[in-house]
């Protein structure tokens, strides 16, 4: 049976809500495995690790959807159990799913990977796999690491939504002094081809490196001389969501959506999340 595996360590954007504690946390140890600090294969929805979020439309980033727990589920895809985030539209009412591990599971340094099958983002869908500091600080002082984002306006403009990929880091003492290092580029092949792809972050004291299917995509300098070192030295919690519209795709009216027409739904499937 596929199980959640956790080894606890002895030592331990965009406006978002405050982050929480600054020590590493995780659910009780079920089975020791020298390769992983954490692994969730989504045999079920583990409430000791994940929280389903609820938010009204426009809560952040001018997004069109309401987040609600009903749009987060565990099911079967390609013969394996997966976490499913479902975006759906009923007229101009749009709903979707978002989960986070804040205050339940976090980690500092190492490697995190997720195996994800993305929907075709077209004009309007915005899937994301990312992290924020679990340290009690408000955004952006808590630090934000965007490992995976797709659906940005550049890909829409260029007609390359299936290959245009984004990653970024956000930081600063407060909203007024928010800074970001943002990178978007065409990937070598479609990441919306109906297959699962592996998105990873390697995190050390001085560097953040994002990779896709084992191919390095972008590295960020967070060393002592970078001017952002202190924002990425606390344990981070994990977030997964499927947004609809907003500032990122530059779509602010349901009539502009081509990826989610009335009566349609779209899905983001997560096969597993691992932390080494």
The residue whose two tokens read 């606390």 is 234
pLDDT of amino acid 6: 37
pLDDT of amino acid 167: 98
The residue whose two tokens read 């999340």 is 273
| Contact (Cβ atoms closer than 8 angstroms) between residue 4 and residue 30 | yes
The residue whose two tokens read 């934000």 is 144
* pLDDT tens-place values along the chain, 276 residues long: 444 443 333 333 333 445 644 555 655 434 444 589 999 999 999 999 999 999 999 999 999 999 999 999 999 999 999 999 999 999 989 999 999 999 999 999 999 999 999 999 999 999 999 999 999 999 999 999 999 999 999 999 999 999 999 999 999 999 999 999 999 999 999 999 999 999 999 999 999 999 999 999 999 999 999 999 999 999 999 999 999 999 999 999 999 999 999 999 999 999 999 999
Terminal C-alpha separation, the chain: 21
């Amino acid at each position: 049976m596929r199980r959640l595996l956790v080894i606890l360590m002895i030592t331990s954007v965009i406006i978002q809500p405050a982050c929480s504690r600054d020590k590493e946390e995780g659910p009780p140890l079920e089975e020791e495995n020298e390769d992983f600090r954490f692994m969730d294969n989504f045999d079920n929805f583990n409430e000791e690790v994940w929280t389903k979020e609820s938010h009204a439309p426009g809560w952040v980033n001018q997004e069109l959807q309401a987040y609600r727990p009903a749009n987060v589920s565990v099911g079967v895809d390609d013969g394996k159990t997966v976490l499913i985030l479902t975006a759906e539209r009923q007229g101009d009412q749009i709903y979707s799913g978002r989960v986070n591990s804040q205050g339940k599971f976090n980690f500092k340094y190492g490697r995190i990977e997720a195996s994800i099958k993305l929907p075709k983002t077209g004009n309007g869908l915005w899937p994301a796999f990312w992290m924020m500091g679990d340290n009690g600080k408000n955004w952006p002082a808590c630090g934000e690491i965007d490992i995976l984002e797709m659906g940005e306006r550049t890909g829409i403009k260029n007609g390359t939504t299936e290959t245009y990929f984004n990653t970024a880091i956000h930081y600063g003492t407060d909203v007024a002094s928010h800074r970001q290092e943002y990178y978007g580029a065409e990937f070598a092949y479609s990441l919306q081809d109906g297959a699962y792809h592996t998105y990873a972050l390697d995190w050390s004291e001085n560097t953040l490196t994002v990779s896709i299917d084992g191919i390095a995509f972008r590295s960020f300098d967070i060393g002592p001389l970078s001017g952002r070192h202190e924002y990425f030295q606390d344990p981070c919690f994990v977030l997964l969501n499927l947004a609809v519209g907003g500032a990122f795709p530059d779509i602010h009216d349901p009539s502009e959506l081509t990826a989610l027409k009335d009566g349609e739904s779209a899905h983001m499937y997560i096969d597993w999340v691992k932390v080494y």
